[in-house]
Amino acid sequence: MKEGNKQFTTIDEYIRTFPEEVQAELEKMKKAIQEAAPEATEAIRYQMPTFRLNGKNLVYFAAFKNHIGFYPVPSGIEAFKKELSIYKQGKGSVQFPLDKPVPYELVKKIVKFRVAENMKESKSGY
For the full predicted model, state whether its pTM sits above 0.85. yes
In a domain, 117, yes or no: yes
| Number of domains present in the structure of the chain | 1
- CATH number of 23's domain: 3.90.1150.200
Q: Per-residue pLDDT tens, the chain, 126 aa: give them.
A: 444 567 899 999 999 999 999 999 999 999 999 999 999 999 999 999 999 999 999 999 999 999 999 999 999 999 999 999 999 999 999 999 999 999 999 999 999 999 999 998 877 655
Provide the residue range defining the domain that includes 90: 11-121
How far apart, in Å, are the Cα atoms of 51 and each of 65, 66, 94?
A: 22, 23, 17
In a domain, 6, yes or no: no
Name the H helices within the chain: 11-15, 20-36, 73-79, 81-84, 104-124
pLDDT digits (tens, 9 = 90+) for 6-42: 789 999 999 999 999 999 999 999 999 999 999 999 9
Residue type, position 109, single letter: K
